[in-house]
Amino acid sequence: MLFITCVKVNSGMVEEARKFGDKIVKEPPKGVKFLQVYHTLGRYDAIWIYEAEDAKVIEDFLHDSRTVATTETWVAFAREM
């Protein structure tokens, strides 16, 4: 399954969020493969695009991110062309 997570860093937590992001991208949980990571200007600070076996696999690391960021995650489906 393909997931897109939008990340908004909590106030005063920029350095901690950077460390968390670096760790999770370099050492993702088993069953998670990061495809793209973008830093953005605007409503969100980062966008993570990744594959995971199912939503249960990402639940723990998204829960752990709550100390440094607020996230919004979508399941994405490819459009048939």
pLDDT tens for 7-27 read: 999 999 999 999 999 999 999
Q: What is the 3-state secondary structure (H, E, C) of 14-75?
A: HHHHHHHHHHHHHCCCCCEEEEEEEECCCCCCEEEEEEECCHHHHHHHHHHHHHCEEEEEEE
pLDDT at position 54 is 83
pLDDT tens for 48-75 read: 999 998 888 888 888 888 999 999 999 9
pTM of the model: 0.89
Identify which of 39, 36, 49 has the alpha carbon closest to the alpha carbon of residue 8.
39
Mean pLDDT of 21-35: 93
pLDDT band at 81 (very low <50, low <70, confident <90, very high): confident
Domain 2-76 is found in CATH 3.40.50.2300: no
- The amino acid at 54: D
**Who wins on pLDDT, 78 or 5?**
5
